[in-house]
Chain A
Amino acid sequence: MTGSTVNGNHQHTNAHEWVPLSAERIRHQTFRETPLGRRGYRPEEVHLFLNRVASEVDRWTAAYAEAQNEVHRLRNYFRNQGVDPEAGRAQELSNEAVTVLVRAQAHADRLIADAQAHASAMQHDARTQAEAIVARARQEVDRAAHTYRAVAGVEYNADREQAERLAALGRSILSAVSGATTQMDGATTQMRAIGEAFAAELEKLTVPFAHAGHAARHG
């Protein structure tokens, strides 16, 4: 290869036809001489320096190639170990995975809120019923005492009135409890259904999760 001229080099600045500046080209680079009467560098010194630059380029090129080999070797090593060296760059998360996760969480949130609302309503009802049962029992106790007094007349006995009161209380509570027991069966079934639906949804929530993680790595 013959040395190109400095002028010729100007044409090579176009990026599309980039020719790497090899050590050899540096070594054989020639310069046109200055016109007579004008000052220029001494050709020997220029060539000496070019030689130094050329050997420097040689050394760096060799070092670069060695580093490249090392990168390839390491990349292969990690790949063989089952580690994806590109994982860090694949952080771009797929919109689809985000959507799946958002929807799953929203669904879980709604179920939990429903379950809470349901529990809340049941507890409110229980409280109201309990207070109603006690109120009715108290009324019946008062009525029983009243009846006893009307019937007893002169044979009135305070202990006897207390016994009548307690008996009325017992009867009232007992009937409320037996009424509640029949309701219990329905409530238990309902609670079990809620529990099962919830478990099923929970399952759905954890599955897209694993899926989403997978999609993230390859998306």
Chain B
Amino acid sequence: MDPAALKRSWAAVVRHGDAVPSFFYAILFMAHPQLRSMFPMSMAAQRDRLVSALGRIVSNVDQIDAAVPFVQGLGRDHRRFDVRAEHYPMVGDALLRTLAHFLGEAWTPQLAEDWGAAYQLVAQVMSEAAERSAASTPAYWTATVVGHERRGLDIAVVQLHPKQPYPYVAGQSCAMEIPDRPRLWRYYSPANLPRPDGRIDLHVKAVPGGQISTAIVHGLQPGDVVKLSAPVGQQLTLAPGATRDLLLLAGGTGLAPLKALVEQVAAEGGRRRVTLIVGARTQPDLYDLPAFEALARQAGWLTVVPALSHDPWYPGERGTVGEVAQRLGRWHDHDVYVCGSAEMTTATREALLAGGVPAEQIRCEDYNNDPYRPMAGDAVTELEEVPTR
């Protein structure tokens, strides 16, 4: 195998841009029409993913050792899309045909053989990892919607009852697929510690134009059955043994995982002082305040401060979460958890750093390191598949 030739040929193919994945999917679906239903109706978000990830991984097969954990993760994760072992050769065939099409004369029998062998290697790592995980974990969990409560203008609190035990840690998130939007998955964070009855609360805000979130807020009903992926994320979980007091900064429904953290602190005896700043635009957007006010009355270790950014009549704290945090004190000796939209997270993190909080004490979701977005640094910026707040 000639790794340099693989890389060179891939670089040449990539220059054809969007035409490459379009061609790939057309070939794949014409040869195997039954695979079409495994993908969403709009392929716009999908396009950059499969093909570019595949091409990159396969053409870097000489460094496969370093990529093995990542490729294994991909293999495991693709189980929720119903990917099975027999699909790998179909995808490999379409990939090779695509390369042949775009490389023309440069597609030699030797190159074809190298690509075939490299793909085989990657597919094997993926399918073996998938097979191993199938022994212990379901491809996805199904859960029944048992509660759906509209709050404020565009928020719903959804309660799910998983049909099998669903183990997770406070601060993690899970991808969810709803019956009205097949093949589209979005991340949401449980807003509670795992309960004895297994029920999970999700906070969902209808993002303007969002395909999934609007359908969840306006269409999902008790009795509907949704799918959940295995829980992911280590960024917003409490480090075992940590003792520093906590500052929790929430923007919108980014409150959900932080609420689970508050429950965890409570369950561990309330030994850490917690200051929670709840960011929202206007007063009706403070969708979960009564629950927190009740909790704060009982728990001396908890302080809850709402911060409204677009409500000039509000008698309490006005401004962004970052501004209010700076106004309220110095937090250099706290562990700080930030959860909200990507912009809110970035802005708040910068405000905290400027205010003297060490970077290693600030924890927020890493949008570039999404487990479903292969290869950090991809130029994919659409809303799809990032945790939605």
A106 to B23, CA, bound (A): 11
B5 at the interface (CB under 8 A from A): no
Q: Are A105 and B282 in contact (CB under 8 A)?
A: no
On whether the beta carbons of A105 and B26 are closer than 8 Å, the reply is yes
- When distances are taken between beta carbons in the complex, the residues of chain B under 8 Å from A131 are 281-282, 310
Q: Say yes or no for A127: interface residue by CB 8 A criterion.
A: yes
Docked CA distance A102–B28 (Å): 11
Contacts of A134 on B, CB cut-off 8 Å? 282
Report chain A residues within 8 Å CB of B206.
Answer: 123
Query: A105, B43: Cβ atoms under 8 Å?
Result: yes
Return the chain A residue nearest B383 by Cβ. Answer: A116
For chain A, the count of residues having a C-beta within 8 Å of the partner chain is 31
Digit string of B163-187 for contact with A (CB within 8 Å is 1, else 0)?
0000000000000000000000000
- Chain A residues with Cβ below 8 Å from B41 are 108, 112
Residues of A within 8 A of B27 (CB): 93, 98
Report the bound CA distance from A124 to B286 in whole Å: 19
Q: Which label, helix, strand, loop or mixed, suits the secondary structure of the A interface? A: helix
B31: CB under 8 A from chain A? yes
The residue among B25, B42, B282 with the most chain A CB atoms within 10 A of its own CB is: B42
- A106 contacts B22, C-beta separation under 8 Å: yes
The verdict on A91 contacting chain B, using a C-beta distance below 8 Å, is yes
Cβ-defined partner of A105 (8 Å) among B19, B25, B210: B25
- Known A-B contacts A98-B26, A98-B27, A105-B43; the reply to A213 vs B153 at CB < 8 A is no
Q: Given A101-B29, A116-B209, A116-B211, do A130 and B42 touch, yes or no (CB 8 Å)? A: no
Residue-wise, chain B 16-51 has the 8 Å CB interface mask toward A (1 for contact) of 000100110111011101001000011110000000
CA distance A150 to B153 in the complex (A): 36
Cβ of A212 within 8 Å of any chain B Cβ, yes or no, is: yes
Partner of A98, one of B30, B153, B210: B30
14 of the cross-chain contacts (CB-CB < 8 Å) are A93-B31, A97-B26, A102-B19, A102-B26, A105-B26, A106-B22, A112-B44, A119-B208, A119-B214, A120-B209, A122-B208, A130-B153, A131-B281, A209-B33
Task: List residues of A whose CB falls within 8 A of some B CB.
Answer: 91, 93, 97-98, 101-102, 105-106, 108-109, 112-113, 116-124, 127, 130-131, 134-135, 138, 209, 212-213, 216
Beyond known contacts A93-B30, A116-B209, A209-B29: 6 more, CB 8 A cutoff? A102-B23, A109-B43, A113-B44, A116-B211, A124-B208, A216-B30
Shortest Cβ-Cβ A-B pairs, 8 listed: A120-B209, A123-B208, A112-B42, A101-B26, A109-B44, A120-B208, A116-B209, A102-B22
